[in-house]
């Protein structure tokens, strides 16, 4: 198990769509080491999700683990560690909502991004089983954020209003109470 370096915005490999992971390599020593490294890296960097391209591995693999805690995102429900291989997303409803997002590959920054809030995720498990789950709200946002990395997209590409893109310290000081979906909140942006 090794903590890998998370590559940052500007590294050209973050913009390259990842390849499907070959199912016949599931369970190999190489695969097990990759998943172990991803988990260690996720924990070491204090993240809730990590895509393989963020550690410069060009495969469609994501790991997500969310502790049941109060964070800058509010109260969030525990999501146990899970590996998502070759995932796809289908939006189930038209409802969108926004969250202030951060990213291990864009350290020290926050941006407000709107995304569909009810999705279906299809993926392969490490055991080679096809699985589907529905996700709502914050978890739906996490999936979409991480899966964007598999297509060479960063959350900053999805920010519609750059006045809602900020350094984390300024976010806490000036923007944390702003919800752009409320009519009055935009007046607080300075």
**What are the 10-residue block averages of pLDDT along the chain, 190 residues in total?**
96 98 97 98 96 99 85 72 98 92 96 96 98 95 98 98 92 77 37
Q: Which two tokens stand for residue 29?
A: 């020593």
Tell me the pairing of strands 118-124 and 74-76.
unpaired
* pLDDT, position 137: 92
Q: Does residue 42 belong to any structural domain of this protein? A: yes
Q: Does residue 31 belong to any structural domain of this protein? A: yes
Write the CA distances from 42 to 63, 97, 117, 123, 131, integer angstroms.
Answer: 8, 26, 24, 20, 23
In the chain, the number of structural domains is: 1
Q: Does residue 187 belong to any structural domain of this protein? A: no
Q: Does residue 127 belong to any structural domain of this protein? A: yes
Q: Does residue 41 belong to any structural domain of this protein? A: yes
State the CATH number of the domain containing residue 54.
3.90.45.10
Q: Which is the catalytic residue, given 30, 65, 95, 146?
A: 146
* pLDDT, position 17: 99
* pLDDT, position 181: 60
Query: What is the pTM assigned to this prediction?
Result: 0.90
Q: Which domain holds residue 154?
A: 12-181
* pLDDT, position 182: 52
146 given a catalytic annotation: yes
* pLDDT, position 75: 64
Residue holding tokens 């172990």?
36
* pLDDT, position 174: 83
Q: Does residue 36 belong to any structural domain of this protein? A: yes
CA angle 104, 105, 107 (to 5 degrees): 65
């Amino acid at each position: 198990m090794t903590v890998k370096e998370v590559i940052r915005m500007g590294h050209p490999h973050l913009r390259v769509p990842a390849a499907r992971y070959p199912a016949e390599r599931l369970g190999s020593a190489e695969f097990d080491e990759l998943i172990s490294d991803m988990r260690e890296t996720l924990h070491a960097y204090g993240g809730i999700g990590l895509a393989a391209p963020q550690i410069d591995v060009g495969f469609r693999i994501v790991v997500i683990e969310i502790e049941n805690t109060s964070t800058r995102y509010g109260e969030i429900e525990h999501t146990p560690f899970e590996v998502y291989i070759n995932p796809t997303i289908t939006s189930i409803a038209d409802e969108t909502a926004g969250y202030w997002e951060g990213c291990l590959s864009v350290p020290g920054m926050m941006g407000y991004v709107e995304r569909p809030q009810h999705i279906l995720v299809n993926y392969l498990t490490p055991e080679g089983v096809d699985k589907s789950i529905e996700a709502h709200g914050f978890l739906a946002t996490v999936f979409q954020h991480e899966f964007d990395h598999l297509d060479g997209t960063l959350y900053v590409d999805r920010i519609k209003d750059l006045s809602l893109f900020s350094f984390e310290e300024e976010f806490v000081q000036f923007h944390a109470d702003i919800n752009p979906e409320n009519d009055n909140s935009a007046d607080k942006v300075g």
